[in-house]
């Protein structure tokens, strides 16, 4: 899948399964395509079934969407974020942080 054929735009609606913010373009004529169906194969992999919006072209195709990497960690994964931050401290600072988290220091 070429990034020239997929664009993301902000949507007023957010949530799982909401693909209204994604624009797909036909790889044959470069016109906007319509997402007909999304088949989620895995938590981070989906097949997107598309059809070109130009009737004369009529191209139907499947694109794959996959998770690539994180730019900024989620604020919802508190335990992972704490571990990430503690792992970047010096060893003596790591122990102090663990003691504080365990309530051993007042």
Average pLDDT value over all residues in the chain: 82
Answer for the pair 64, 45: CB distance below 8 angstroms, yes or no.
Answer: yes
Mean pLDDT calculated for residue range 12-29: 70
| pLDDT band with cut points at 50, 70 and 90 for residue 98 | confident
Buried b (16+ CB within 10 A) or exposed e, 13-47: eeeeeeeeebebbbbeeeeebeeeeeeeeeeeebe
- Whether the predicted pLDDT of 19 surpasses 70: no
Which is higher by pLDDT, 22 or 28?
Answer: 28
- Whether the predicted pLDDT of 83 surpasses 60: yes
- Whether the predicted pLDDT of 90 surpasses 90: yes
In this predicted model, what pLDDT tens digit does every residue of 28-58 receive, in sequence order?
999 999 999 999 999 999 999 999 999 999 9
Task: Specify the pTM.
Answer: 0.55
pLDDT at 102: 86
């Amino acid at each position: 899948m070429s990034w020239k054929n997929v664009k993301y735009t902000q949507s007023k609606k957010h949530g799982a399964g909401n693909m209204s913010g994604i624009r797909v373009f036909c790889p044959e004529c470069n016109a906007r395509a319509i997402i007909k169906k999304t088949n989620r194969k895995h938590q981070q992999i989906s097949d997107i079934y598309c059809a070109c919006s130009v009737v004369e072209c009529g191209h139907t195709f499947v694109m794959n969407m996959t998770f690539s990497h994180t730019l900024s960690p989620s604020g919802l994964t508190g335990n992972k974020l704490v571990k990430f931050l503690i792992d970047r401290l010096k060893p003596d600072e790591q122990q102090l942080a663990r003691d504080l988290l365990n309530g051993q220091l007042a």
